[in-house]
């Protein structure tokens, strides 16, 4: 995999960083995109220690120009692009519709939906040359209605449909949306903090309970499946929304990477 290059957004921690480390373990070169320079540089160092090459790009995916710059920087550095992993997302605003700030909804849509669109558009020439793949990281929240999380639910539902459209419009790039399950990430910590202020008691209590009862998945587990799919997802999956623990993903990813992330 030494000649492969993957661009990952939201790569400064949590799921994105874990995907980067899996890919680095097989020698993949990575463009790591996030807003936080300090954390991004730390992940880049981990990638290089694991055997990959890393280009950290401090960028906000809600910006058209920033997305274009990130793609261009990665392709110019590594000469090609084999996969794009749209992982960056925000859960705010956590607010009911009648109280919400429209600009906060705009920011959620810009990050969770439009950012992936911008990156796909700018990546297409390189991805098409490589017969590449796009992994859109979605959520089970796309299919349910969560009080005070309307922006997140709506944006992820739209991302799912964007994936379906990509499957129809871009037949020479394999586009898949992957649900990573309920992962132990900073987003979950934020929900535990904010939910009691804005959500019904049973809903906010759920976030505390899944943490206290050990129900959250460690980020390296779904990250392994996402990393494998970015390299190997077959073309006939294009346009599908899939779970990280689908046997078609979970079993070959375990065989390919093993069960331990160094």
Q: Does a structural domain hold residue 12? A: yes
**Per-residue confidence (pLDDT) for residue 260, from 0 to 100:** 83
- Inform me whether the pLDDT recorded for 187 exceeds 90: yes
Separation CA 161–CA 136 (nearest Å): 11
Separation CA 147–CA 166 (nearest Å): 30
Q: Does a structural domain hold residue 194? A: no
The 8-class DSSP code of residue 175 comes to E
pTM of the model: 0.97
Mean pLDDT value across the chain? 97
* CATH code of residue 33: 3.40.50.720
Q: Does a structural domain hold residue 197? A: no
The yes-or-no answer on residue 152 being catalytic is: yes
pLDDT in tens, 194-247: 999 999 999 999 999 999 999 999 999 999 999 999 999 999 999 999 999 999
**Per-residue confidence (pLDDT) for residue 86, from 0 to 100:** 98
User: Which pair of tokens denotes residue 116?
Assistant: 């992936």
Q: Does a structural domain hold residue 239? A: yes
3-state secondary structure of 85: strand
Q: Which domain holds residue 167?
A: 5-181+219-257
Question: Which candidate in 118, 152, 207, 244 is catalytic?
Answer: 152
Q: Does a structural domain hold residue 124? A: yes
Smallest CA-to-CA distance from 21 within 49, 56, 2, 61 is with 49
Separation CA 205–CA 227 (nearest Å): 32
Q: What is the percentage of the chain residues whose pLDDT exceeds 90?
A: 98
Task: Give how many domains the chain has, as a whole number.
Answer: 1
Q: Which H or E run contains 176? A: strand 174-179
- Inform me whether the pLDDT recorded for 30 exceeds 90: yes
């Amino acid at each position: 995999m030494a000649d492969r290059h993957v661009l990952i957004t939201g790569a400064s921690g949590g799921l994105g960083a874990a995907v980067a480390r899996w890919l680095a373990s097989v020698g993949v070169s990575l463009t790591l995109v996030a807003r936080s320079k300090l954390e991004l540089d730390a992940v880049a160092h981990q990638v290089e220690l694991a055997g990959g090459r890393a280009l950290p790009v401090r960028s906000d995916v809600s910006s058209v120009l920033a997305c274009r710059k990130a793609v261009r920087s990665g392709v110019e550095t590594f000469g090609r692009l084999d996969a794009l992993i749209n992982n960056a997302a925000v859960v705010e605003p956590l607010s009911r519709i009648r109280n919400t700030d429209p600009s906060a909804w705009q920011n959620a849509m810009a990050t969770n939906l439009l950012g992936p669109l911008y990156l796909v558009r700018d990546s297409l020439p390189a991805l098409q040359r490589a017969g590449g793949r796009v992994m859109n990281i979605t959520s089970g929240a796309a299919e349910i209605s969560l009080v005070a999380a309307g922006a997140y639910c709506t944006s992820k539902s739209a991302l799912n449909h964007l994936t379906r459209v990509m499957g129809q419009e871009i037949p020479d790039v394999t586009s898949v949306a992957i649900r990573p399950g309920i992962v132990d990430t900073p987003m979950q910590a934020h929900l535990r903090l904010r939910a009691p202020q804005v959500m019904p008691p049973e809903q906010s209590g759920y976030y505390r309970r899944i943490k206290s009862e050990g129900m959250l998945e460690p980020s390296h587990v779904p990250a392994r499946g996402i990393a494998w799919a970015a390299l190997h997802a077959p073309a006939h999956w294009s346009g599908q929304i899939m779970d990280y623990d689908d046997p078609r993903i979970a079993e070959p990813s375990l065989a390919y990477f093993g069960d331990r992330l160094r």
